[in-house]
């Protein structure tokens, strides 16, 4: 049986984050191709993680800077190794290259971390994003990881363009793979609540993700007071996993700013709302909240950064505005105008069907894997930069890791010695 090893940054939580949803979609795709899958991670388990064993996926707890990973890797002997974010490739990539040199190495970036961080810094300093901000130390690390892998999955077309145009990365090392969704049937669409059956606004997103927290704070301080002035009876319900005290302290029933926290069913709460608000000032990748909104027929107001990579040549599922006053006006208009609202809903259905089709994108990805497997030696010969970076990574990271291994062994021996 074909074997896939996923080295995960965290355990998948599809109900908490877009990253968790993305990982589960990839796992499902490989399961459908009859791969024997093992998900390995150094992360601690959580209460809301997916039960991978119920899906037929084996799990393994692995250790950093420990030779036990080499033994595990040699015994499993996977055909494909998928790194969940570049940090996992940094930590385990050199071991994979040594123990399983013939295995295909795939990086799932989730989003470009260096892009998100550069935008956050620009927003904090009230500056326009520029090349100097993009060419950070984090960018060097992440792009080096892309070069060292045989293929990197990029979730946004905008990020595909950035990597090729700004950094000159060959398209042969990249593959555009957005969220993989199934089309809604006409019957499913008809079952959704209509305009009149819905009430209030909604914001949703994992609060450990800095762009989401910043967006909620932006709503509270700058946007919601303007909306509330026009719609004094309306409320906004704030949902998201892992709400810290700074989030719950924003709750104010008198102002109609209701912090709900964790949503047992994202679909249920999004479906009951009339409009989703996401005033994102920075970020990267694609936003899972918008996919949920499309599937539940809920139009949305967001920013240019928020909708990046979502629409292509199609129309957005609502309104786009970047400044607080314009955002508030767009939100009120979408909330009160049934014709505009229904148009936004139809646009969302079209985006789901034409931009995120599981069938078309998964077929193209599987075809790319077949090509890669057949020409892996030639592919790597054409990626000299990747070979060079792998060589230097092995020379540096390897010996640092070996030093830490030895240091840990000595500490364990000292603990066992009698006083």
Token look-up 């950093």 returns 64
Residues 6+ apart with CB under 8 A from 290: 276, 278, 300, 302, 306, 307, 310, 317
Fold designation for 3-180+358-416? Rossmann fold (3.40.50)
Q: Answer yes or no: are the C-beta atoms of 79 and 4 closer than 8 Å.
A: yes
CA distances from 22 to 154, 266, 289, 361, 363 (A): 11, 16, 12, 13, 17
CATH classification (class only), 186-355: alpha beta
The Cβ-side half-sphere exposure at 44, using a 13 Å CA radius, reads 2
Give the pLDDT means over successive 10-residue stretches in the chain (419 positions).
95 91 97 98 93 97 92 97 97 94 97 96 93 96 97 98 97 97 95 97 95 97 98 97 94 97 92 98 96 98 97 97 98 98 98 95 96 97 94 70 70 68
pTM over 0.75: yes
Could you tell me which residues are beta bridge partners of residue 71?
Answer: none
Could you tell me which residues are beta bridge partners of residue 37?
Answer: 4
Whats the size of the chain, residue-wise? Answer: 419
- At 399 the pLDDT is 66
Name the residue ranges covered by the structural domains of the chain: 3-180+358-416, 186-355
Q: How far apart are CA 343 and CA 348, in angstroms?
A: 9
Q: How far apart are CA 147 and CA 236, in angstroms?
A: 44
Domains 3-180+358-416 and 186-355 share a fold: yes
Q: How far apart are CA 79 and CA 102, in angstroms?
A: 8
- At 129 the pLDDT is 94
CA distances from 52 to 13, 46, 85, 105, 318 (A): 11, 13, 19, 22, 36
Residues 6+ apart with CB under 8 A from 409: none
- At 305 the pLDDT is 97
Other Cβ atoms within 10 Å of 1 Cβ, number: 6
Q: Answer yes or no: are the C-beta atoms of 85 and 108 closer than 8 Å.
A: yes
- At 414 the pLDDT is 74
Q: How far apart are CA 354 and CA 5, in angstroms?
A: 31
- At 160 the pLDDT is 98
Structure tokens at 338: 């049934």
């Amino acid at each position: 049986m074909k074997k896939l090893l996923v080295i995960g940054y965290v355990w998948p939580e599809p109900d908490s984050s877009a990253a968790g949803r993305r990982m589960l979609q990839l796992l499902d795709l490989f399961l459908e191709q009859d791969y024997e899958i093992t998900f390995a991670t150094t992360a601690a388990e959580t209460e809301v993680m997916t039960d991978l064993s119920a899906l037929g996926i084996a799990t393994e707890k692995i250790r950093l800077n420990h030779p036990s990973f080499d033994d595990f890797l040699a015994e499993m002997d996977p055909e494909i190794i998928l790194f969940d974010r570049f940090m996992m490739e940094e930590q385990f990539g050199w071991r994979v290259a040594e123990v399983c040199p013939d295995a295909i190495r795939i990086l799932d970036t989730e989003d470009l971390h260096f892009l998100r961080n550069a935008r956050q810094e620009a927003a904090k300093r009230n500056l326009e994003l520029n090349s100097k901000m993009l060419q950070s130390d984090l960018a060097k690390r992440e792009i080096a990881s892309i070069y060292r892998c045989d293929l990197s999955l990029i979730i946004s077309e905008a990020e595909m363009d950035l990597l090729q145009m700004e950094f000159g990365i060959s398209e042969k090392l990249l593959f555009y793979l957005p969220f993989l969704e199934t089309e809604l049937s006409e019957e499913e669409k008809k079952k959704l609540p209509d305009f009149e059956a819905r009430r209030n606004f909604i914001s949703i997103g994992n609060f450990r993700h800095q762009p989401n927290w910043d967006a909620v704070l932006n709503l509270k301080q700058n946007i919601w007071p303007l909306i509330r002035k026009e719609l004094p009876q309306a409320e906004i319900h704030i949902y998201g996993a892992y709400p810290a005290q700074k989030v719950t302290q924003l709750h104010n029933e008198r102002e109609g700013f209701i912090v709900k926290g964790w949503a047992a069913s994202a679909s249920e709460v999004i479906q009951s709302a009339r409009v989703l608000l996401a005033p994102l000032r920075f970020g990267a990748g694609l936003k899972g909240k918008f996919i949920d909104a499309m599937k539940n027929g809920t139009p949305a107001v967001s920013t240019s950064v928020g909708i990046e990579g979502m629409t292509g040549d199609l129309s957005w599922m609502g309104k786009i505005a970047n400044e607080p006053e314009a955002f508030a006006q767009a939100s009120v208009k979408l909330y009160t105008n049934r014709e505009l609202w229904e148009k936004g809903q139809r646009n969302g259905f079209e985006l789901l069907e034409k931009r995120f089709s599981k069938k078309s994108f998964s077929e193209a990805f599987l075809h790319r894997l077949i090509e890669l497997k057949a020409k892996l030696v030639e592919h790597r010969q054409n990626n000299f930069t990747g070979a060079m970076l792998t060589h230097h990574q092995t020379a540096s990271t390897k010996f640092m890791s070996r030093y830490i291994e030895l240091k840990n062994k000595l500490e364990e021996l000292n603990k066992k010695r009698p006083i």
